[in-house]
């Protein structure tokens, strides 16, 4: 392996870590059929910015998502609030449960 291959490998690894950091994983279970569903939420496109004023407390981002499994037509809805560091403040679910 040459020097350029090593450098290219480092760039690929860094790009993969950035891509993984852009997603927040969630795992839910359908209340009707028991199917476990894993989803990845994109921080850049799926979260709604709540535009807090400087010094204002509360959620900085909100996620509203509808999830449909493969086994049954039951729709699972999640509503999650995040702080500025993408830590979960509050989460609600209908039609299932968080795992």
* The pLDDT of residue 22: 84
* The pLDDT of residue 78: 96
Alpha carbons 82 and 94: distance in angstroms, whole number: 18
**End-to-end Cα, the chain, rounded Å:** 43
Walk along the chain (99 residues) in steps of 10 and give the mean pLDDT of each run.
68 57 90 93 91 80 93 92 91 93
* The pLDDT of residue 41: 92
* The pLDDT of residue 14: 55
* The pLDDT of residue 39: 93
Query: Is pTM, for the whole model, over 0.85?
Result: no
């Amino acid at each position: 392996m040459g020097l350029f291959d090593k450098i290219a490998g480092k760039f690929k690894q860094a790009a993969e870590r950035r891509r993984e950091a852009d997603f927040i994983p969630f795992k839910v279970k359908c209340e009707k059929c028991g199917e476990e569903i894993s989803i990845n939420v994109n921080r850049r496109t799926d979260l709604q910015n709540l535009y807090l004023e400087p010094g204002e407390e509360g959620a900085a981002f909100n996620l509203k998502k509808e999830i449909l499994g493969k086994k049954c037509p039951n729709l699972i809805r999640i509503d999650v609030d995040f702080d500025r560091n993408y830590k979960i403040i509050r989460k609600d679910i209908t039609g299932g449960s968080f795992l």
